């Protein structure tokens, strides 16, 4: 039986190389984009293709990468989280709020031991994620709207904590992980790598990861298979918020300050990284591997545009156009796949 099965599978594969390629479009397209962009910038600027610059790119995408881990889970479930940047911001501010600041910082904060500050901050972002989860699953607010509200709520908490001021000190551990390095490698890159790897392992090798894909693939079928769909959706919202919170704490240490609206660009960047990488907005397809490719596409693009002589205002437009192209490929790849499956 096993041998006939392999024979059949091989026959099937041989017959369908074109359908196979079509079905893999969402994985191939972002990779080709990455190679194309890298080749272009390497050709256009001698300073781009250097080991030093690779280190720069890695560091530049780290915070986005940490936030994008959780967002990948959410998008795989065919939901969205618009509160990631705000939650990152409020968690970064919270960890500074619970740390003793220099005397010239004019914030009425509550200094606590470092470990306590970190734990409280993580609890805060988990709690905000839980509110997202309850809104989505218990009340039934679409995630787009629920997290839009949470974006404001988290920004509001940030505003109340810092009141327009800037805090600088965070606990020692956070400072090290956010801005230190070991053996020449920045800690923040290592943390991002570990979290991406962890996310990948969870999605690929655990029962929960399988559930995430199945709920994203066909929510109705997941329910008819007796899965607790609401629990899984709730869990991904909390995971997303906690990843954002960690990204926010390390980001604050990385930038050297905690202030209002510090993470605004990370909302678009994180969503772009996940989607450009080829994870389907309709759920069930893609993964951390795609997100990593997406991160590099964005990283190379942002970094490369600095290396070539280009109007810095034009950069924004170019990023927008690249994102649009990726979205078109994303939707188109879904259609090709459906055709290949018929």
Partner 1 sequence: MPEVRSPILELQGITKSFGGVEALRGVDFALLPGEIHGLVGENGAGKSTLMKIIAGVHTEFSGRFLIDGKETHFRSARDAHAAGIAMVHQELSVAPDLTVAENVFLGNQPTNRLGLVQWRRMAREAGEQLARFGIDVDPMTRLGDLPIGLQQLIEIARVLFSGARIVILDEPTSALSPPEVERLFATLRRLREEGTAIVFISHFIEDILLVSDTVTVFRNGRKVAETASAATSKGALIEAMIGRGGEALEHSYTDDLMLPQPSDSTVVLKADQLSLARSLKDVSFEARAGEVLGIYGFMGCGQQELSRILFGKLKPDAGTLAVEGTPKTFASTAAARRAGVALVPESRRDMLFHQEAVYKNISISILDRISSLLLKPTQERDIARRQVEQLQIRPPVVGLDLGMLSGGNQQKVALAKWLTYPPKLLVLCEPTRGMDVGAKNDVINIVRDLRARGLAIIVLSTEPETVLSLADRILVLKRGALVREFSNEPVSKDRLLEAA
Instruction: Quote the CA–CA distance of 171 and 115 in Å, as a whole number.
Output: 8
State yes or no: residue 146 binds partner 1 (CB under 8 A).
no
Q: Which of these, 60, 58, 59, 73, lies nearest to 241 by C-alpha position?
A: 73
Contact 253, 179 (CB under 8 A): yes
Applying CB under 8 A, among 207, 309, 312, 313 the residue interacting with partner 1 is: 207
Instruction: Quote the CA–CA distance of 217 and 211 in Å, as a whole number.
Output: 10
Q: Which of these, 117, 240, 214, 97, lies nearest to 160 by C-alpha position?
A: 97
Minimum distance between the CB of residue 208 and partner 1, rounded to whole angstroms?
8
State yes or no: residue 179 binds partner 1 (CB under 8 A).
no
Minimum distance between the CB of residue 279 and partner 1, rounded to whole angstroms?
14
27-46 residues near partner 1, rule: CB under 8 A = none
In the complex with partner 1, which residue's Cβ is closer, 40 or 282? 282
Instruction: Quote the CA–CA distance of 65 and 86 in Å, as a whole number.
Output: 16
Minimum distance between the CB of residue 273 and partner 1, rounded to whole angstroms?
23
Q: What are the φ and ψ backbone dihedral angles of 185, each rounded to 5 degrees?
A: -100, 125
Minimum distance between the CB of residue 3 and partner 1, rounded to whole angstroms?
12
Stretch touching partner 1 by CB under 8 A, among 41-49, 226-234, 247-255, 288-296:
226-234
Minimum distance between the CB of residue 341 and partner 1, rounded to whole angstroms?
4
Q: Which of these, 209, 198, 189, 231, lies nearest to 65 by C-alpha position?
A: 189
Applying CB under 8 A, among 44, 185, 221, 308 the residue interacting with partner 1 is: 221
Q: Say which DSSP state 105 is in.
A: -
Instruction: Quote the CA–CA distance of 136 and 33 in Å, as a whole number.
Output: 35
State yes or no: residue 104 binds partner 1 (CB under 8 A).
no
State yes or no: residue 1 binds partner 1 (CB under 8 A).
yes
In the complex with partner 1, which residue's Cβ is closer, 181 or 218? 218
Applying CB under 8 A, among 9, 145, 317, 318 the residue interacting with partner 1 is: 9
In the complex with partner 1, which residue's Cβ is closer, 4 or 309? 4
Applying CB under 8 A, among 45, 228, 257, 302 the residue interacting with partner 1 is: 228
CA angle 130, 262, 319 (to 5 degrees): 100
Stretch touching partner 1 by CB under 8 A, among 1-9, 92-100, 163-171, 319-327:
1-9
Residues 6+ apart with CB under 8 A from 213: 76, 203, 284
In the complex with partner 1, which residue's Cβ is closer, 1 or 139? 1
Contact 294, 275 (CB under 8 A): yes
140 burial class (0-12, 13-18, 19+ CB within 10 angstroms)? exposed
Q: Give me the half-sphere count of Cα atoms (radius 13 Å) on the Cβ side of residue 285.
A: 18
State yes or no: residue 223 binds partner 1 (CB under 8 A).
yes
State yes or no: residue 210 binds partner 1 (CB under 8 A).
yes
State yes or no: residue 55 binds partner 1 (CB under 8 A).
no
In the complex with partner 1, which residue's Cβ is closer, 51 or 207? 207
In the complex with partner 1, which residue's Cβ is closer, 56 or 228? 228
Q: What are the φ and ψ backbone dihedral angles of 305, each rounded to 5 degrees?
A: -65, -25
Q: Under the rule (CB under 8 A), what is the footprint of partner 1?
A: 1, 4-5, 8-9, 12, 205-207, 209-211, 213-214, 217-218, 220-231, 284-285, 337, 341-342
């Amino acid at each position: 039986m096993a041998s006939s099965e392999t024979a059949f599978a091989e026959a099937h594969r041989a017959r369908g190389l074109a359908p196979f390629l079509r079905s893999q479009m969402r994985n191939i397209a972002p990779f080709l984009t990455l190679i194309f962009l890298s080749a272009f910038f390497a050709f256009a600027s001698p300073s781009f293709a250097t080991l030093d610059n690779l280190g720069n790119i890695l560091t530049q995408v780290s915070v986005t990468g940490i936030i994008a881990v959780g967002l990948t889970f959410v998008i795989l479930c065919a939901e969205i989280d618009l509160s990631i940047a705000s939650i990152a911001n409020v968690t970064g501010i919270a960890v500074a709020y619970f740390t003793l600041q220099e005397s010239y910082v004019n914030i009425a904060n509550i200094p606590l031991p470092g470990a306590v500050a970190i734990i409280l901050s993580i609890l805060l972002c988990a709690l905000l994620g839980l509110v997202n989860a309850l809104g989505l699953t218990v009340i039934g607010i679409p995630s787009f709207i629920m997290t839009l509200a949470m974006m404001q709520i988290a920004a509001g908490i940030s505003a109340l904590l810092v009141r327009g001021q800037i805090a600088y000190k965070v606990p020692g551990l956070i400072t090290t992980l956010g801005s230190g390095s070991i053996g020449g490698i920045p800690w923040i890159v290592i943390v991002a790598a570990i979290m991406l790897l962890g996310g990948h392992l969870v999605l690929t090798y655990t029962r929960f990861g399988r559930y995430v894909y199945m709920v994203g693939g066909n929510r109705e079928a997941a329910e008819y298979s007796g899965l607790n769909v609401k629990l899984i959706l709730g869990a991904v919202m909390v995971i997303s918020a906690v990843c954002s919170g960690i990204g926010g704490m390390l980001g604050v240490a990385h930038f050297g300050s905690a202030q209002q609206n510090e993470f605004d660009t990370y909302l678009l960047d994180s969503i772009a990284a996940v989607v450009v990488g080829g994870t389907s907005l309709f759920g069930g397809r893609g993964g951390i591997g795609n997100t990593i490719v997406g991160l590099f596409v964005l990283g190379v693009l942002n970094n490369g545009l600095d290396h070539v002589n280009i109007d810095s205002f034009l950069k924004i437009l170019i990023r927008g156009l690249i994102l649009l192209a990726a979205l078109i490929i994303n939707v188109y790849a879904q259609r090709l796949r459906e055709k290949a499956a018929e």
